[in-house]
Chain A
Amino acid sequence: MAGLLTLEQKLQHFRKEYFYRSNQAEENRKRENQAATLIQSWFRGCLERAYLSHLHKKAIIIQKIWRGFTARARVRQMVKAAYFIMKMNFYEEMAVRIQQRWRGFFARKHIHSFYARKSYMEGILKKNESVRNELDEICDLQKKERESLKMIQEQTAKVYQAHRLHYLLSTEQCPGVFNSPFRQAPHEMELLLRQVKHSAPNRMVPKSRVSFLGIPGPAAHGFSATTESPWMKSTRICSFRPALPPIASKNYQVMVVKATTKSLDLED
């Protein structure tokens, strides 16, 4: 009996305990369930995550390898292209150099030679100088000619004067105008007078008609002496002077008028 009582007590205790525990368990069920869910979900999550990360890593590896592959291909292509471009640039530069040199050579040789132009300019300057010198020489020559002509004219004029002024020659008794006793030596005119032989003055023949010794007389106006003065050497005159017939006065006047007309016309 005691045992039964204890058993019953234990049974009741057991029932109470069972009821209490199942109560407790019932109360904890939800919480435990949730906890279990949480744990399981967390664990599953971990599994998934581990799986995902595994997948990620593998995917990364694959992508890495792929990308490396394509990049290397691209780089190879780029290198090829860059190399090609470098080569082309090089060729171009060399071609430019060749063309520069060629064009320079060609232009210098055939189109326009700088040195030819330079020597041309120098040649022109030299030619200018030489032409200047020549012209100066010619000018001097012509001046000398003119001066000598003038001197001859002056000389013939003086001789003509001497012919006309022969009466001023000094004589034994009476010294002439040009031979003053107060001078050391006689004047040049005096000497000229002594040299020149007197000739009687010719009748005034208009110069435009004179053809003396075959020299055509220049159309002179007035009676000034010229280079072809017929009074140069009186001896020649004496031998050649024919007695010309007297010219009729009326015609002479007309001729003088004509001669003066002609001279006036020339001076117009």
Chain B
Amino acid sequence: MSQRQIIQVFEQYQKSRMSFVQTISDLATRSQNIEILHNAGVMALLRPLLLDVVPGVQQTAALALGRLADSSDSLAEAVVKENILPDVVQSVTSHNRFHKKAAAFVLRAVAKHSPELSQAVVDCGGVDALVQCLMEFDPGVKEAAAWALGCVARHNATLSQTVVNAGAVPVLVLCLLEPEMALKRIAASTLSDICKHTPELAHAVVDAGAIPHLAQLILSRDTKLKRQVFSALSQIAKHSASLSEMVAEVGVFPAAMTCLKDPDEYVRKNVTTLMREMVKQTAELSQLVVNCGGLGAVIDYLGDCSGSLRLPGIMMLGYVASHSESLAMAVILSKGVSQLAVCLSEEPEDHIKAATVWSIGQIGQHTPDHAKAVAMANLLPKLLKLYMDASSSEDLQAKSKKALKSILQKCTHLPALEPLLYDAPSKILKHVMCQFSKVLPHDSKARRLFVTSGGLKKVQEIQAEPGSVLQEHINAINSCFPEEIVRYYSPGYSEVLLERLENYQPA
């Protein structure tokens, strides 16, 4: 055989390898093919092609492997079991940047499914290799490496700690400064995934100087970037008051509020989440947010959106109101209570209703003025209904009871308390009675109103055990009125009168 023919054999083999991996990678884009490919034993076939001589075959094989691992976790486990990972990690450290990108893609696809698979990636030395990739020049390689690190760090705190120990954080912060938008997005999302687990990790990220860069990125135009940036900032702020103060010092606030009107709903949700995490920590931070006009913006946000997007906004109002009564009054004056009433009536989900109920309780619990504002919005019967409703979850019932109790202990607005006399169970009733017994001795107009509206009649009909707190309050109320009126309204008085009539002999 001549030399040319021999070379031709090799070229044919190479072409067939190339077409094989290309077809496999194209097939792997469709989910229905994945099972078939897996059963046909594609893993074992792709593995030697990863170490092929021709770089094109290597890269396409890596790409195919990545796509396969991406679509199902059984295939990702197969990748780990077949010991393909050390080869992939080695490809990550190779020189060709397309190869690195494809290998990083494989690592990402494996790591994203579960913590055990991520641990397997870490055990093969994947994290160090990826951090090396982060220091490359090519933005595509950096992006793929950052994404893979993000998938590893997402699962739990130990994995994040491994990523941080490999020195990824300063490099990621540098990536934030790069001009490519996609790289910035991925870097922000990876930082957010790292920070979310524990305060030490958040401190590690902050020490690398991430906050000023993230704050600058708020002003960008790109929607997805803004989502990730706000999510990262809120993950940092949520751990402790000092971290929130660091975020606040940078001057995030006035800029963040412009993003509350962003057309993308997730950006708005993340901004509200950030505000909630900051407000949760201390009263000064809540004061800062309120002074920047945050309340009006959040209340408008609650009006615009619906569903689970409202949850951070609702919780934010609750946290603001919980710190002090002037803040709670600020919430009331900004029409927070009416908005929360709207949310309560519109939302079908129990956990959102529970959060709304909790916020209402925090607002109304401070002074009689606050309780009156809550009562005027007609919320007390609704809270009672939620408490009594058998179909509400236990959490919702417990929260509505607590909120009702704390509001009732301060409510002195009697017309709002009267509807509660009719349906309430005895636990709630005793608080209502307590309030009546406090107010009625001093106010004659209230007494008159109480009698004419049928409240006294209802009070007589209540049966309480003698000696219980409820009975004491009932006695206290009865002592505010003359004896005849109390007897007149007591149940069965007409029978008593008729008996007297029967026994009466005209003289």
Interface residues of A (CB under 8 A from B): 117, 120-121, 124-125, 127-132, 134-136, 138-139, 142-143, 219, 250, 254, 257-258, 261-262, 264-266
Contact = CB atoms under 8 A, between A and B. Distances in A.
A27 to B, nearest CB: 77
B356 to A, nearest CB: 21
Interface stretch (B31-39, B72-80, B295-303): B295-303
Contacts of A134: 258
B31 to A, nearest CB: 14
Given A117-B326, A262-B140, A266-B182, A128 B261 contact: no
Contact of A129 (B143, B258, B296): B296
A138 B329 contact: no
B258 A138 contact: yes
Given A125-B334, A132-B300, A254-B56, A120 B292 contact: no
A265 B330 CA distance: 46
Contacts of A128: 293, 295-297, 334
B217 interface: no
B292 A261 contact: no
A127 B182 contact: no
Given A121-B329, A124-B291, A124-B333, 9 more contacts: A120-B326, A125-B334, A127-B293, A131-B294, A132-B296, A254-B56, A257-B63, A261-B63, A261-B102
B334 A219 contact: no
Nearest to B224: A266
Contacts of B294: 131
B89 to A, nearest CB: 20
A124 B290 contact: yes
Contacts of A124: 290-291, 293, 295, 330, 333-334
B161 to A, nearest CB: 26
Chain B binding surface, main DSSP class: helix
Contacts of B29: 264
Tell me the dominant secondary structure on chain A's binding face. Answer: helix
A257 B330 CA distance: 58
A254 B98 contact: yes
B293 A131 contact: yes
A130 B25 CA distance: 56
Contacts of B292: 127, 131
Given A125-B333, A125-B334, A131 B297 contact: yes
Nearest to B326: A117
A131 B334 CA distance: 13
Interface string B46-64: 0000000000100110010
Given A124-B290, A125-B333, A136 B257 contact: no
Contacts of A142: 261
B144 interface: yes
A264 B70 CA distance: 12
Nearest to A251: B56
Interface in B147-190: 147, 182
Nearest to A138: B258
Contacts of A250: 56
B60 A257 contact: yes
A40 to B, nearest CB: 72
A136 B261 contact: yes
Interface residues of B, number: 35
Contacts, number: 71
Interface in B309-350: 326, 329-330, 333-334
A136 B304 CA distance: 13
Interface of B: 22, 25, 29, 56, 59-60, 63, 98, 101-102, 105, 140, 143-144, 147, 182, 257-258, 260-261, 263, 290-297, 300, 326, 329-330, 333-334
Contacts of B290: 124
A250 B55 CA distance: 12
Contacts of B25: 257
Closest 8 CB pairs of A and B: A128-B296, A131-B293, A139-B261, A127-B293, A135-B261, A128-B293, A138-B258, A124-B330
Contacts of B59: 254
Nearest to A216: B179
A131 B292 CA distance: 8
Nearest to B105: A265
Nearest to B112: A268
A258 B98 contact: yes
Contacts of A132: 293, 296-297, 300
A210 to B, nearest CB: 16
A215 B297 CA distance: 39
Contacts of A219: 182
14 contacts: A120-B326, A121-B333, A124-B293, A128-B334, A131-B257, A132-B297, A135-B260, A135-B297, A136-B261, A138-B258, A250-B56, A258-B98, A258-B101, A261-B101
Nearest to A254: B56
A193 to B, nearest CB: 34
A119 to B, nearest CB: 12
Given A121-B330, A127-B291, A136-B261, A265 B297 contact: no
A173 to B, nearest CB: 49
Contacts of A264: 29
A237 to B, nearest CB: 27
Nearest to A262: B140
Nearest to A127: B293
Contacts of B60: 254, 257
Contacts of B333: 121, 124-125
A127 B25 CA distance: 57
A143 B258 CA distance: 13
A124 B140 CA distance: 47
A219 B182 CA distance: 10
Nearest to A264: B29
Most chain B CB atoms below 10 A, which of A124, A130, A262, A264: A124
A125 B334 CA distance: 6
Nearest to A126: B293
Contacts of A121: 326, 329-330, 333
B261 to A, nearest CB: 4
B258 A135 contact: yes
Contacts of A138: 258, 261
Contacts of B56: 250, 254
A25 to B, nearest CB: 82
